[in-house]
Structure 1
Amino acid sequence: MKGEIYADRFAALGHINRLEIFQTLVKAGSEGMAIGEIASMLDIPASTLSFHLRELVRSKLVTQKKEGRTITCVANFDALNELLTFVKKDCCKGVTLPVFSS
């Protein structure tokens, strides 16, 4: 069952707009960002942003909280950590991976 959840979350991140939205929210930290801020920062039309946020919320990678008339989006760090743990589990049979610099 967990495998299906992970596959769904990876699929949600499998679109460049959703990946950029999620990365932006991860950088924003636990405070999150208002939808308008995300749209301005990424130069994404409101309807397009709404479409992609709906998928991220559905997959539980993003949560939303309403404060007055503002909707703030926050990356779900627990879900992110679960994905990273899943990917790294049993990684490379215990061999330390090289660190790549950019």
Structure 2
Amino acid sequence: MNDDKAIGMLSALAQQTRFSVFRMLMRSGEAGMPAGKIAARLDIPQNTLSAHLSVLSNAGLVGARREGRSLIYSVRLNDTRDFMGYLVNDCCNGHPEICAISMTESKCSA
């Protein structure tokens, strides 16, 4: 992780729809969700969602896998964990454990 990658991720998340998509996919875990279901839940057109998913994907926050004719989107948990760790790395003079942000394997499986 470096500043440019972190800024790219922050930029991707700094938009209401993309932030909502990311949070929804975080809740869905490794199972992910098909694009049509995401669009329906957020009540947005599929072409609009496609553009937002592309931004999130290019930033390294989400990935897709094909299941039959569907694309299933999910958060790239390892990359997201690295991103969160990078954000708090210098917390409290180099003691990120003081920030009390838990990203342990037991709480968020990779």
TM-score (norm 1): 0.88
SS at match of 2:73: strand
Aligned-CA RMSD value: 1.9
- 1:19 positional shift: 0.5
Q: Which residue identity is paired with 1:55?
A: V
Alignment of 1:1-102 (within 5 A): 2-93=2-93, 94=95, 96=98
Separation (CA, whole Å) in 1 of partners of 2:15 and 2:64:
20
Q: Is the 8 A contact 2:88 2:99 kept in 1?
A: no
Structure 2: any 5+ residue segments left out of the alignment?
101-110
Give structure 1 regions of 4+ aligned residues with deviation exceeding 3 angstroms. 94-98
Aligned to 1:9, the other structure's residue is in SS state: helix
- 1:80 Cα shift? 1.0
CA distance in 1: counterparts of 2:11 and 2:99, whole angstroms:
26
Amino acid at match of 2:88: K
Contact residue 25 and residue 74 of structure 2 kept, 8 A: yes
Aligned sequence identity (%): 31
Secondary structure at the aligned position of 2:71 is classed as: strand
How does the TM-score come out when normalised to structure 2?
0.82
**In structure 2, do the counterparts of structure 1 residues 69 and 97 end up closer, same or farther at CA, with 3 Å as the change threshold?**
closer
SS at match of 2:14: coil
Point out where structure 1 has 5 or more consecutive residues left out of the alignment.
Answer: none
